[in-house]
Amino acid sequence: MSQVTKIATPFQLMPDLPAWEFTALKESIKQHGVIIPIVRDENGTIIDGHHRDRACHELKIKDVPTITLAGLTDEQKRDHALVLNLVRRKITRKQMRAIISSELRRTPDISNQWLAEIVGSTDKTIQSVRKELITASEIPSLDAYRAKDGKRYPATRLYTERLKQSDRVRSALATLGDDAPRKPVSLKLLEREAKNKERTSQIRGRYRKPAEHAQVRLYHSTFQKLESVAQIEEDSVDLVLTDVPYNREFTQQFDDLAEFTARVLKHGGVFAVYVGVIQVADAIKSFARHLDYQATSFSSWLGAGPVIQPLQCVTQTTPILVFSKGKWTRTTRWYNCFHNSVAEQDLHEWQKPISDTEHWLLSFSDQDDLICDPCAGSGSTALACHRNERRFVGCDCDRDAIRLAQTRLSNEMTTKIKTTKLSLGKR
Ligand SMILES: C[S@@+](CC[C@H](N)C(=O)[O-])C[C@H]1O[C@@H](n2cnc3c(N)ncnc32)[C@H](O)[C@@H]1O
């Protein structure tokens, strides 16, 4: 819906501006642009700023600063509209009584105190208008009135400057519905949540506990419980290849992950872990307590990745830390950088391109080896193992991610995609 389209105005509660005031507003917008943003709900309906919108329409201005408030009840929108208008406008006594009268006709059961608070008047004035309306039989006389319930219903709040951006806000809000975050958010975050919801809604199939002797076993579990859930024996895994969440909260699980890995890995086995740029110091500290640090490697890509704040660092690499359990025993030569020419994120927010995963898998394991991914996400490691004749066991604590990974794998198995094995170190 366009910002300047003429639409129904259920929240225009105040009388139109006199012609001279409207002309002055228009002139000011022509000279200085729109200084106070227009407030719209998730459907694009204006809550505040009808005159600014009309002026922009007449001036053919398309890009208007907009605040979108989503998730408010109609009552809250009306309250919001009234408060904003009454604060800004000089209201005559007669106009104030007309507003009170229209509000009382609309909701006769609202208490005097609550309405006074909304319109910025006194209980006495409300009572006086109410009395007039009851005498004229325009509203009923009630025994009890509805007081403000004291609950707060926070709105999703977004500020945008361009027409296209506010269209994107409405589209993301339409996808999210009641799942929109009830707080001030950026367009980027809102779109990311909408995309995640879309991905989740596309997942088909139930979670199935894997068969005990299957070549690839994906469990819904935390890695802290995986050994008992999947019957993994100590010293049985050749490679733990994983990609952890790149946030500070997950850093608290580094010690658990290091202990888990040190238990399940065979002697000489390898632990290769993608970590966030900001996690490197903590990761090396935790993992090196249980395993032997060997190298830091990188996955890279062209173009701008996430920006690390407050460093203003635009990421173009993900570090991969490489450890071994005891002495390094592998003799295969490997390259410590893999360059990605394509992004693959259609399934999971943090999905790794399969060729990237394959590069590290082929570098640190051999055919028929047992590989473990304790933070499997959409199952990129599992799929790479299937394609490259390795056994796999892994898990994710997110049931939807595992359903998705299992579906991804069974699609691959049924459609028998021809895969070209990458040569080691292809970059
Ligand atoms: C970066 S993602 C992995 C993405 C994966 N490489 C892919 O290609 O889809 C990390 C995953 O770790 C999972 N996770 C976080 N804590 C976990 C835990 N304690 N046990 C198991 N999985 C966990 C998250 O749910 C998330 O899916």
Q: Kindly list the domain boundaries of the chain, sorted by start residue.
A: 19-197, 216-415
- pLDDT surpassing 50 at residue 193: yes
Give the Å distances, CA to CA, from 117 to 79, 111, 120, 146, 244: 10, 10, 5, 14, 51
User: What is the predicted pLDDT for the residue at 132?
Assistant: 94
**Mean predicted confidence (pLDDT) in 293-316:** 92
Which of 139-143, 152-156, 180-184, 321-325 is modeled with the greatest confidence? Answer: 321-325
More confident site: 16 or 272: 272
Choose which residue among 350, 357, 393 to substitute to test ligand 1 binding: the one with the highest number of ligand atoms within 8 A of its C-beta.
350
- pLDDT surpassing 90 at residue 91: no
User: What is the predicted pLDDT for the residue at 1?
Assistant: 38
* Distance of alpha carbon 185 from alpha carbon 166, whole angstroms: 13
Which of 85-99, 109-123, 277-291 is modeled with the greatest confidence? Answer: 277-291
CB of 401 sitting under 6 A from ligand 1: yes
CB count within 10 Å of CB 281 equals: 10
Q: How confident is the model at residue 4 (pLDDT cuts 50, 70, 90)?
A: very low
- pLDDT surpassing 80 at residue 356: yes
Peptide bond into 310 cis (omega under 30): yes
Distance from the alpha carbon of residue 194 to the mean position of ligand 1, in angstroms: 20
Mean pLDDT of the chain: 88
User: What is the predicted pLDDT for the residue at 340?
Assistant: 93
Give start and end residues of each alpha helix (H) in 305-398: 354-364, 380-387
CB of 377 sitting under 6 A from ligand 1: yes
User: What is the predicted pLDDT for the residue at 200?
Assistant: 78
CB of 223 sitting under 6 A from ligand 1: yes
Q: How confident is the model at residue 149 (pLDDT cuts 50, 70, 90)?
A: low
* Distance of alpha carbon 138 from alpha carbon 134, whole angstroms: 6
**Mean predicted confidence (pLDDT) in 80-106:** 80
Distance from the alpha carbon of residue 26 to the mean position of ligand 1, in angstroms: 54
* Distance of alpha carbon 1 from alpha carbon 43, whole angstroms: 8
Q: Which DSSP state fits 242?
A: E
CB of 395 sitting under 6 A from ligand 1: yes
Choose which residue among 222, 375, 408, 409 to substitute to test ligand 1 binding: the one with the highest number of ligand atoms within 8 A of its C-beta.
375
Q: How confident is the model at residue 391 (pLDDT cuts 50, 70, 90)?
A: very high
- pLDDT surpassing 80 at residue 278: yes
More confident site: 10 or 409: 409
User: What is the predicted pLDDT for the residue at 426?
Assistant: 42
CB of 383 sitting under 6 A from ligand 1: no
Distance from the alpha carbon of residue 223 to the mean position of ligand 1, in angstroms: 10
CB of 103 sitting under 6 A from ligand 1: no
CB of 380 sitting under 6 A from ligand 1: yes
Q: How confident is the model at residue 423 (pLDDT cuts 50, 70, 90)?
A: very low
Question: Relative to the CA of 223, which ligand 1 atom is closest?
Answer: 20
User: What is the predicted pLDDT for the residue at 287?
Assistant: 98
- Give the torsion sign (CA, 394, 400, 403, 404): negative
* Distance of alpha carbon 4 from alpha carbon 113, whole angstroms: 37
CB of 378 sitting under 6 A from ligand 1: yes
- pLDDT surpassing 50 at residue 150: yes
Q: Which DSSP state fits 240?
A: E
* Distance of alpha carbon 48 from alpha carbon 90, whole angstroms: 16
Class of domain 216-415: alpha beta
348 and 408 in contact (C-beta within 8 Å)?
Answer: no
Beta bridge partners of 394: 218, 373
Give the Å distances, CA to CA, from 367 to 239, 386, 421: 12, 11, 12
User: What is the predicted pLDDT for the residue at 142?
Assistant: 86
Weakest-pLDDT range from 10-14, 101-105, 398-402 = 10-14
- pLDDT surpassing 60 at residue 37: yes
% of the chain beyond a pLDDT of 90: 60
- Ligand 1, atom 7, lies closest to the CA of 351
Weakest-pLDDT range from 8-12, 37-41, 330-334 = 8-12
Distance from the alpha carbon of residue 296 to the mean position of ligand 1, in angstroms: 21
User: What is the predicted pLDDT for the residue at 151?
Assistant: 62
Instruction: Work out whether strand 370-373 and strand 237-243 pair parallel, antiparallel, or are unpaired.
Output: parallel
User: What is the predicted pLDDT for the residue at 3?
Assistant: 44
Decide: pTM greater than 0.95.
Answer: no
Q: How confident is the model at residue 416 (pLDDT cuts 50, 70, 90)?
A: low
- pLDDT surpassing 80 at residue 269: yes
221 and 422 in contact (C-beta within 8 Å)?
Answer: no
298 and 337 in contact (C-beta within 8 Å)?
Answer: yes
What's the pLDDT tens digit per position in 74-89?
888 887 777 777 766 6
- pLDDT surpassing 90 at residue 388: yes
Distance from the alpha carbon of residue 401 to the mean position of ligand 1, in angstroms: 8
Beta bridge partners of 391: 370
Among the listed residues 103, 117, 102, 107, the one whose alpha carbon sits nearest the alpha carbon of residue 148:
117
